[in-house]
């Protein structure tokens, strides 16, 4: 049995080592492994915008380290000046990408920490900001691990799972959300296979999910997005598991563009469709999916591919980065506190108001 810890040596999107903040440049994967050093809120914002670091939890972690970079650069002559400097950094980072709520969740955590310490010397507050960034990353690891363990309710020996985009180690601190149950099943010695949609236009499925699953020894097959119906129709898929960028209070889930289509296909083929979603991705202030702001990206991502035009010059293109899957298409929501079923509004509220995590004992992997 492989040790989960060892599976991920080298697959970490954000690394904080010897005081250096490093992001694995996911735009270069799988061809090249290169790192980008973050030394300011601006460089962090640019990295998030360019998808050097991407995936909701990883964006939150990256933003927390962006705040740390800004904090280091701040002068130490008084709380008010420091606070104004950090507020500017926060606004800058908050404007990087609008959909993944983890970004705002992490920025809020760092900001709250700062405001709670207004009586302390700025030098001490800076140390606390560092501590908070490291804590956010570490907690995410535990959250993902717990999602993997609870995911054993879904992922059984011999199953084939279809996923869309990348909700794996590369999108989190480690293990992932949608991929965590796959890694946990692998750890138990289960034979689990994964079909991954390539995920146009930026190919997070084929470039990133296939990369990390292959590295971890999980059997993975890449398909184009348009093939999902066909493989479901052949009876090859037992369950779909996807990640989430923001979940509304009623369980509607925003995730990578194309996810809604996968959910509809799953429904048509009577295949269960699960959303893996840490509680940091649930936004109780957003009541329904239609209230979620969907990022629109450069249309050139649709009309060009690998630097070449794939559509006639001057043609219009539409490029929303995410879509919303209505809660009635979701068979279950997999969180670090367990798998919940409909009614989602009530069950999400119950989970959010209980405080088992962080600080609660981690769930234990079932035997057998």
Active site residues: 245
3-state secondary structure of 77: coil
204 vs 335 by CB, closer to ligand MRU: 204
Q: Where are the alpha helices (DSSP H) in 216-254?
A: 228-233
Query: Minimum Å distance from CB 169 to ligand MRU?
Result: 9
Which one, 132 or 140, has the nearer CB to ligand MRU?
Answer: 140
Which residues pair with residue 323 across a beta bridge? 255
Q: Closer to ligand MRU by CB, 106 or 122: give it.
A: 106
* Cβ neighbours of 226 (radius 10 Å): 12
CA distances from 235 to 14, 246, 266, 271 (A): 38, 30, 11, 9
CB-nearest residue to ligand MRU: 243
| Residue whose CB is less far from ligand MRU, 82 or 195 | 195
Beta-strand pair 304-305/308-309: antiparallel
Q: Which is nearer to ligand MRU, 110 or 167 (CB)?
A: 167
Chain residues in the site for ligand MRU (CB under 6 A): 51, 54-57, 100, 165, 167, 171-172, 176-177, 204, 243-245, 255-256, 321
User: Could you tell me the smallest distance in angstroms from the CB atom of residue 265 to ligand MRU?
Assistant: 17
Can you tell me the distance from the alpha carbon of 245 to that of 253, in angstroms, rounded to the nearest whole number?
7
**From the CB of 272, what's the least distance to ligand MRU, in Å?**
18
Nearest approach, Cβ of residue 3 and ligand MRU (Å) = 22
Residue 324 to residue 252: CA distance in whole angstroms: 7
Smallest distance, Å, CB 200 to ligand MRU?
12
In the bound state with ligand MRU, the residue whose beta carbon lies nearer, of 48 and 68, is: 48
Query: Which residue, among 5, 138, 147, 116, has the nearest Cα to 60 in the 3D structure?
Result: 138
Give me the least distance between CB of 19 and ligand MRU, in Å please.
27
For ligand MRU, the closer of residues 130 and 139 by Cβ is 139
Both tokens assigned to 75: 């002068």
What is the rounded distance in angstroms from the CA atom of residue 88 to the CA atom of residue 109? 16
Which tokens sit at 81?
């000046």
How far apart CA 148 and CA 141 sit, in angstroms, is 11
Phi first, then psi: what are they for 334, rounded to 5°? -100, 115
DSSP bridge partners of 14: 23
| Angular region, 158: left φ>0, alpha ψ -120 to 50, beta rest | left
- Residues 368 and 152 sit within 8 Å (Cβ to Cβ): no
64 pairs with which residues across the strands? none
CB of 228 to ligand MRU, least distance (A): 15
């Amino acid at each position: 049995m492989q040790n989960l810890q060892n599976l991920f040596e080298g697959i970490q999107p954000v690394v904080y080592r010897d005081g250096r903040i490093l992001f694995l440049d996911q735009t270069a994967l799988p061809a090249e492994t290169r790192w980008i050093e973050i030394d300011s809120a601006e460089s962090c914002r640019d990295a998030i915008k360019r998808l050097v670091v991407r995936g909701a939890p990883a964006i939150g972690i990256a933003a927390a380290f962006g705040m740390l970079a800004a904090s280091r650069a701040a002068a130490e002559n008084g709380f008010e000046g420091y606070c104004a400097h950090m507020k500017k950094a926060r606004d800058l980072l908050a404007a990087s990408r609008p959909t993944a709520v983890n970004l705002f969740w992490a920025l809020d955590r760092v900001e709250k920490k700062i405001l709670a310490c207004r009586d302390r010397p700025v030098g001490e507050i800076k140390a606390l900001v560092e501590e908070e960034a490291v804590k956010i990353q570490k907690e995410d690891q535990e959250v993902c691990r717990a999602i993997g363990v609870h995911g054993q309710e879904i992922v059984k020996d011999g199953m084939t799972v279809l996923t869309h985009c990348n909700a794996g180690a590369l999108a989190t601190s480690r293990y992932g959300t949608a991929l965590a149950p796959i890694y946990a099943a692998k750890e138990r010695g289960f034979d689990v296979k994964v079909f991954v949609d390539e995920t146009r236009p930026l190919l997070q499925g084929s470039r990133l999910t296939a990369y990390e699953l292959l590295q971890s020894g999980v059997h993975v097959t890449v398909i184009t997005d348009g093939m999902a119906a066909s493989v479901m129709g052949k009876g090859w898929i037992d369950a779909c598991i996807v990640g989430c960028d923001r979940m509304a209070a009623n369980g509607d889930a925003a995730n990578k563009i194309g996810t809604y289509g996968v959910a509809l296909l799953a429904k048509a083929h009577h295949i269960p469709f699960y959303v893996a979603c840490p509680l940091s991705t649930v936004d109780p202030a957003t009541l329904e999916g239609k209230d979620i702001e969907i990022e629109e990206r450069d249309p050139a991502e649709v009309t060009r591919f690998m630097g070449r035009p794939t559509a006639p010059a001057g043609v219009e293109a539409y490029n929303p980065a995410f879509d919303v899957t209505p809660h009635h298409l979701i068979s279950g929501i997999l969180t670090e506190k367990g798998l919940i079923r409909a009614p989602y509004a009530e069950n999400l509220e119950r989970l959010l108001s209980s405080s088992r995590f962080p600080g609660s004992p981690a769930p234990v992997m079932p035997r057998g």
